[in-house]
């Protein structure tokens, strides 16, 4: 499987994502620079953590204007798998690919530690190899990770089974303990915890591997061909 890892100015988890996919899982991964108008022949896209454009305006608010994001939106619209991690989640929300907002943490402090999240649904390409209710130990590292949405949006997320991950020990005050959500088409997911930093037992946990293993398994079950050849879906 071919993963593309988007690199924005200020990304700092791009190599972590690349290493997790290529070394820990043995699949192909390549970097895609932010000013690229195309994604190339990739089967999935990862928007990594970091501080895109320094987060000087608002997390993800500048990155959404990068040329590569037009290609990401088109790729997602054709059913391609897109995973946004931490800052990548913020970029997806700012770009309109996911609903809601990521606000300053409850105590207005940067949080960097291991947390426990619970898999709320396995009906996504990102959790299909997990068990419903499975608990994962993964790290967080963010200052603006408090997920918020208005009542109708939250109700829709619950109704449509689109809350993918919840914190067991909420580190940031996120609404309804939300740690990760997916799009209406279920092919775009954003999560604040870092699965790429929990893909090897040497770093204390390999629980994050199940996210990437799920993507790989899902792709292996689909008709072969790049996302450019797939029928459009609502992402």
Q: Which residues are catalytic?
A: 86, 194, 196
140 HSE (CA, 13 A, CB side): 26
Q: Helices (H) and strands (E) in the chain — how many of each? A: 5, 11
Residue that has been written with the tokens 């996302």 in this structure: 227
Radius of gyration of the chain (CA): 16
Q: What is the DSSP letter of 227?
A: G
Question: 3-class SS at 75?
Answer: helix
How far is residue 80's CA from residue 233's CA, in Å, rounded to a whole number? Answer: 9
Q: Please calculate the CA angle 99-131-100 and round it to the nearest 5 degrees.
A: 10
Query: What does residue 45 show for φ and ψ, rounded to 5 degrees?
Result: -120, 135
How far is residue 196's CA from residue 19's CA, in Å, rounded to a whole number? Answer: 8
Beta bridge partners of 30: 4
Q: Backbone dihedral region of 114: left (phi > 0), alpha (psi from -120 to 50 degrees) or beta?
A: beta
The alpha-helical segments, DSSP class H, found in the chain are 14-19, 67-77, 87-94, 151-159, 209-220
């Amino acid at each position: 499987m071919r993963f593309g890892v988007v690199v924005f100015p200020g990304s700092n988890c791009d190599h972590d994502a690349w290493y997790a996919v290529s070394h820990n899982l043995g699949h192909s991964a390549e970097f895609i620079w932010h000013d690229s108008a195309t994604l190339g022949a990739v089967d999935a896209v990862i928007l990594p953590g970091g501080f895109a454009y320094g987060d000087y305006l608002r997390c993800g608010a500048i990155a959404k204007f990068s040329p590569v994001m037009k290609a990401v939106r088109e790729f997602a619209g054709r059913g391609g798998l897109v995973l946004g991690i931490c800052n990548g989640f913020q970029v997806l929300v700012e770009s309109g690919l996911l609903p809601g907002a990521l606000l300053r943490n409850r105590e207005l402090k940067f949080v960097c530690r291991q947390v426990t999240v619970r898999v709320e649904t396995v009906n996504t390409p990102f959790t299909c190899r997990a068990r419903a209710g499975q608990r994962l130990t993964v790290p967080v590292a963010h200052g603006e990770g408090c997920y918020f949405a208005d009542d109708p949006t939250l109700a829709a997320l619950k109704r449509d089974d689109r809350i993918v991950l919840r914190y067991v020990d909420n580190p940031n005050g996120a609404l309804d303990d939300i740690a990760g959500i997916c799009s209406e088409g279920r092919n775009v997911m954003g999560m604040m915890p870092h699965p790429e930093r929990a893909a090897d037992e040497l770093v204390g946990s390999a629980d994050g591997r199940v996210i990437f293993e799920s993507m790989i398994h899902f792709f292996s079950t689909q008709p072969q061909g790049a996302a450019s050849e797939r029928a459009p879906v609502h992402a």
